[in-house]
Amino acid sequence: MRIETVTNAEIELLTAIKNADVLTLERILHDDLLFNLPDGNTITKEFDLNSYRSGKMKIEALEATDQVINIIGDSAVVTVVVSLKGTYDNNRIDGVLKYIRVWKQFDEELKVIAGSCIVLT
């Protein structure tokens, strides 16, 4: 696994999130994904996909900075700061979050197997 591969996967993921591209998210997110939200709740792939399918999650702007990638065998750990603007279930989202994501190589494809985010501002 190369850093460029992970960087490209991150770009594809963030683009899919911004565009509510459920087909790409279905492919990139592992079926057994667990993701911790800032409020302490843990969500699954299906919960995440349903928030896009239903139109509850709407992203207006998304900008990633301060990305760090560590490759460990067939996995990669990514930290990134994301400025996010949008709505979830008509509630305003406007802030800066720090994400950590774990990517794992499966055959020819990288998938997100775990993640978490905290609010910075």
Q: Is 84 exposed, middle or buried (0-12, 13-18, 19+ CB in 10 A)?
A: buried
The CATH number of residue 102's host domain is 3.10.450.50
Which residue type occupies 64? A
Total domains present in the chain: 1
Which residue type occupies 1? M
Domain hosting residue 35, numbered range: 3-119
Total-model pTM: 0.92
Q: How many CB atoms lie within 10 A of CB 109?
A: 11
Q: What is the pLDDT of residues 72-82, one digit of tens each?
A: 999 999 999 99
- pLDDT score for 108: 86
Q: How many CB atoms lie within 10 A of CB 101?
A: 22
Between CA 99 and CA 97 the distance in angstroms is: 6
